[in-house]
Amino acid sequence: MQEAFRWAVAAGTAAVMSEGTGLARRENVETLYEQLST
């Protein structure tokens, strides 16, 4: 459950980092996930 929460936070954060209505970039999601894991 905790891992799913971290992925959700990382994906949501990456989505708002995208310009306009663009989708989140996988690289950003993975980087943010790693930062949340430390």
Domain positions in the chain? 2-37
Place of tokens 């959700």: 8
What pLDDT sits at residue 14? 94
Q: What is the pLDDT of residue 12?
A: 94
33-38: Cβ within 8 A, 24+ apart: 33/6, 33/7, 36/6, 36/9, 36/10, 37/6
What is the pLDDT at residue 18? 82
pTM beyond 0.75: the answer is yes
Name the packing angle between helices 2-17 and 26-37 (round to 10°): 130
pLDDT bin (cut points 50, 70, 90) of residue 36 is: very high
pLDDT digit string, tens, across residues 6-30: 999 999 999 998 888 778 899 999 9
